[in-house]
Chain A
Amino acid sequence: MQSATENVFKALSDPTRRAIFEHLTRDGEQTVHALTYRAGVSQPAVSKHLRVLKLSRLVRDRREGRETHYKAQPQALAPLVDWMSLYGTFWRDRFDQLENLLKRMDK
């Protein structure tokens, strides 16, 4: 059985899917039609991509009349991003730079 993390990685490994997900992240909920217009691929292709994103819980869908609206669920990315460790790297680098600066400064 695949882990949720692997599913998310696989879902985002495709550039078109990634672009669709990024559009939804930036611009909020959108219909399949709007996404198709921007994706530059056919609507069945977009729908297929959306199914993959939905399976990995990166998007959620909502029917309204004849349209299906999709919304990004970026919290599904959480297992991939240990952002404490990103900030940890950031601050350790800055500490090094701080120490270098102190060496250069006049006593």
Chain B
Amino acid sequence: MTQTAPSHTLVIEREIPHSPEKIWRALTEGSLIEEWLMKNDFQPVVGHQFSFRSTPVPNWDGIIDGEVLVVEPNSRLSYSWSSMGLKSVVAWTLTPTTGGTHVRMEHSGFRSNTDAAYKGANWGWQKFIGNLEGVVGGLD
């Protein structure tokens, strides 16, 4: 294996008191995805290319382009997640439990190189610029 830039992974896990089947629908049906994530033309078909669209803000066009990578109904779903040229991968894993479903979301591939820092900066630009004057005021 070649040495690659270290990548970062964000993992969120939750126990949700609903069946995997129901959660699967919320993760894969366009009209339902829109209700909790973003407007989209998503289809749970491997190779399908789609966009998530939210309101643009300065320095971010609000568009995430993706391609469906893995579809195992009621169990595993994965898609690429590309925004402003920065590529990452989102993977969902649903595991039935006695009270519902263990939901695991892994968002990986944030490389800590120049490009990632730059895109990340763009992404977070509004957020930190908004607080900048206040923070700077506290430095003196």
Interchain CB contact under 8 A, B120 and A83: yes
The reply on A84 being an interface residue by CB < 8 A is: yes
Interchain CB contact under 8 A, A97 and B36: yes
The answer to whether A75 and B118 touch (CB under 8 A), given A94-B36, A97-B35, A102-B18, is yes
The reply on B23 being an interface residue by CB < 8 A is: yes
| B123 partner, pick from A10, A86, A94, A100, beta carbons under 8 A | A86
Interchain CB contact under 8 A, A92 and B12: yes
Count of B interface residues, CB-CB < 8 Å: 35
Q: How far is the CB of B114 from chain A (nearest CB, A)?
A: 5
The reply on A81 being an interface residue by CB < 8 A is: yes
* Stretch of B41-49, B69-77, B132-140 contacting A (4+ beta carbons < 8 Å): B132-140
Interchain CB contact under 8 A, A102 and B22: yes
| A86 partner, pick from B37, B116, B118, B124, beta carbons under 8 A | B124
Question: In chain B, residues 13-54, which have Cβ atoms closer than 8 Å to a Cβ of chain A?
Answer: 14, 16, 18, 22-23, 25-26, 32, 35-37
Interchain CB contact under 8 A, B26 and A86: no
Contacting residues, chain B, for A6 (C-beta < 8 A): 139
Interchain CA distance A9-B140 in the complex, whole Å? 12
Q: How far is the CB of B88 from chain A (nearest CB, A)?
A: 9
Contacting residues, chain B, for A84 (C-beta < 8 A): 8, 10, 110
The answer to whether A75 and B22 touch (CB under 8 A), given A10-B139, A102-B16, is no
The reply on A78 being an interface residue by CB < 8 A is: yes
| B10 partner, pick from A77, A80, A91, beta carbons under 8 A | A91
Interchain CB contact under 8 A, B124 and A81: yes
Interchain CA distance A52-B120 in the complex, whole Å? 23
The answer to whether A88 and B10 touch (CB under 8 A), given A12-B132, A74-B121, A102-B18, is yes
The reply on A55 being an interface residue by CB < 8 A is: no
Question: In chain A, residues 86-107, which have Cβ atoms closer than 8 Å to a Cβ of chain B?
Answer: 86-88, 91-92, 94-95, 97-102, 105, 107
| A91 partner, pick from B18, B107, B133, B136, beta carbons under 8 A | B107
Interchain CA distance A105-B139 in the complex, whole Å? 50
Binding site for B on A (CB under 8 A): 6, 9-10, 12-13, 18, 25, 74-75, 77-78, 80-81, 83-84, 86-88, 91-92, 94-95, 97-102, 105, 107
- Additional pairs, 6, CB under 8 Å, beyond known A12-B132, A74-B117: A10-B136, A95-B103, A97-B37, A98-B26, A101-B36, A102-B16
